[in-house]
Structure 1
Amino acid sequence: MATGYDVVGSGEHTVIAVHGWFGSARAWQPLIPHLDPTAFRYVFVNLRGYGDRRGEPGEHTLAEAASDVRAVADAVSAERFSLVGHSMGGSVMQRVLADAPERVRSLVGISPVPASGVPFDDDGWALFSGAATDPEKRRAIVDLTTGNRLTGVWLDAMVRHSLEHSDERAFADYLLAWAKTDFHADIEGDPTPVKVIVGEHDPALGEATMRQTFTRWYPNCTVDVLANCGHYAIDETPVALATSLETFLREAP
């Protein structure tokens, strides 16, 4: 039985949104006021170990997460749907496509993790792998990935959300899933319409990375770079993000 999702809107086009490593279904709230609830039905999911699925057992793999997303689609009677994924959620949405391509109308990645995973040097891996047990490392990651340019009040709020809405074990497991899993051979050449939306201040998952991965693997992929934005467009530039997102979704077959 599918659990752990919120529905906003009643439009004919179902859009399933998958949160990032620091997120949850509630992390999309800054974006929701700017979405069109008459054209779209948005389904904001919680992955296992997040939100109202904290404490739920699981392996926290991409395959498991993708299976859970399909279960949510079944629960809301969506045979075909578009997918939106932020960061880690961008990896999950591509696994859904690889496993059930006939069900996916289009993909929108918001600073998405490529299907090849993410390479780390030793210092970077020490920072990210230590974040499960160290809130200061979580804060440093959010600061780094938004270009060291945003108020500490917001950084602290992001860390609080992460701590309050995710299990420590799930948080640690999902890092291995999105960073160390390479399944790009499963999606390379897929004709599904894809849009990737990135921030100009995102040092790792910005335009250059998208052009080395997404645009090479998906023949129908476009890239949109948001000004005055880092890795967290949902918070940093929600109006611009909603505009870019829905402009694309309205054209999905």
Structure 2
Amino acid sequence: MARDVIPYEVQGSGAGRVILLHHWFGDRTAFAPMREHLNGEAFSYAFPDCRGCGEAQQMAGAFTMEEIAADVLAVADELDWDTFSVVGHSMGAIAAQLVLLNAPDRVRSLIGVAPMPASGFPLEGEYRDLFYGAVENPANRRAIIDTVTGGQEDDAWLDAMVSRSLARTTPEAFRGYLESWSTTDFHERVRGNRTPVLVVTGAHDPVLGADAARGTWLEWYPNAELDVLDGCGHFPTEETPQALAASLVQFLSRFAK
């Protein structure tokens, strides 16, 4: 039986092909602030919505990282993209690594933006309560977003992020993805993988910043590089979109053709 293809949008017409996976708090519109800064002549970018998010809110699903990875390959097949690069933001980076493992001959390069590692992000005690409480409680979402951006953003920005998150994700998907990214661990499968990798972190991200990347991504991927962006925390897509786009395009220009 053919797999239902998740909704996606393509920008650009270049030969370099890139699929970008969004973070836990939203859908593909999270990339909207940076899209005007992308090079559409050299690259074609596909922006899918994960099941339960954005235009895929009504799609049934298991809401796991493995399911996202399978859906990405279905999108690539529909686009007739034999090879491509994958960008994953936060939880999207876990799914992006699974795409690499599932189709190593098709993935030209991998980019993790404020990325969760292949070992997942285990939650215990008060942190588990905070994150699982965020499924139903907007105040928990706000507290998490404020923390991972280093307390640098104002009330209006935080409120907008929470509002978009509530509008663009279903509670079932939000909880399902949380359970998946917080409990997965396949880091031994990626250790030593020589695919070109870029890790982009925000200077104000206290959780998944440069130190976390050095202890995971840069340790496991021998061809990994690190770019730390000033002026942002966990959401450079929304905080510093122009700088993030420049970092991605510079790296992709070397490997995505």
TM-score bin (small chain)? over 0.9
**1:182 lines up with 2:185 in the alignment:** yes
Structure 1 counterpart of 2:132: 129
Structure 1 counterpart of 2:166: 163
Pick aligned residue for 2:201 from 198, 206, 211: 198
Q: Distance in 1 between matches of 2:6 and 2:94?
A: 21
Structure 1 counterpart of 2:81: 78
- 1:196-235 matches, within 5 Å, as 196-235=199-238
Deviations, residues 122-142 of structure 1 (Å, cap 9, x unaligned): 111111111010011011111
SS at match of 1:85: strand
Structure 2 counterpart of 1:2: 5
Q: Deviating runs (4+, > 4 A) in structure 1? A: none
Maintained 8 Å contact 2:204/2:232: yes
Structure 2 counterpart of 1:115: 118
Q: Distance in 2 between matches of 1:73 and 1:245?
A: 20
What letter matches 2:96 in structure 1? M
**1:25 lines up with 2:28 in the alignment:** yes
1:120 Cα deviation after fit: 2.8
SS at match of 1:241: helix
Q: Distance in 2 between matches of 1:58 and 1:5?
A: 16
Q: Would you say how many aligned residue pairs link Structure 1 and Structure 2?
A: 253
Q: Distance in 1 between matches of 2:238 and 2:66?
A: 28
Deviates more, 1:215-224 or 1:115-124: 115-124
Deviations, residues 145-176 of structure 1 (Å, cap 9, x unaligned): 00012111111111111111111011001011
Pick aligned residue for 1:97 from 63, 76, 100: 100
1:64 Cα deviation after fit: 1.1
**1:13 lines up with 2:30 in the alignment:** no
Deviations, residues 57-107 of structure 1 (Å, cap 9, x unaligned): 111111111000100011111110000110010111001111111110001
Q: Distance in 2 between matches of 1:49 and 1:111?
A: 22
1:121 Cα deviation after fit: 3.6
Pick aligned residue for 1:51 from 48, 51, 54: 54
Deviations, residues 219-245 of structure 1 (Å, cap 9, x unaligned): 100011111110000111111111111
| Structure 1 length-normalised TM | 0.98
SS at match of 1:228: coil
Pick aligned residue for 2:63 from 39, 53, 60: 60
Query: RMSD over aligned Cα, in angstroms?
Result: 0.9
SS at match of 1:106: strand
What letter matches 2:226 in structure 1? V
Deviations, residues 183-219 of structure 1 (Å, cap 9, x unaligned): 1112111110000000011011000110000011101
Q: Distance in 1 between matches of 2:39 and 2:13?
A: 9
Q: Distance in 1 between matches of 2:209 and 2:36?
A: 26
| Structure 2 length-normalised TM | 0.96
Structure 2 counterpart of 1:142: 145
Unaligned runs of 5+ in 1: none
Q: Distance in 2 between matches of 1:9 and 1:167?
A: 30
SS at match of 2:105: helix
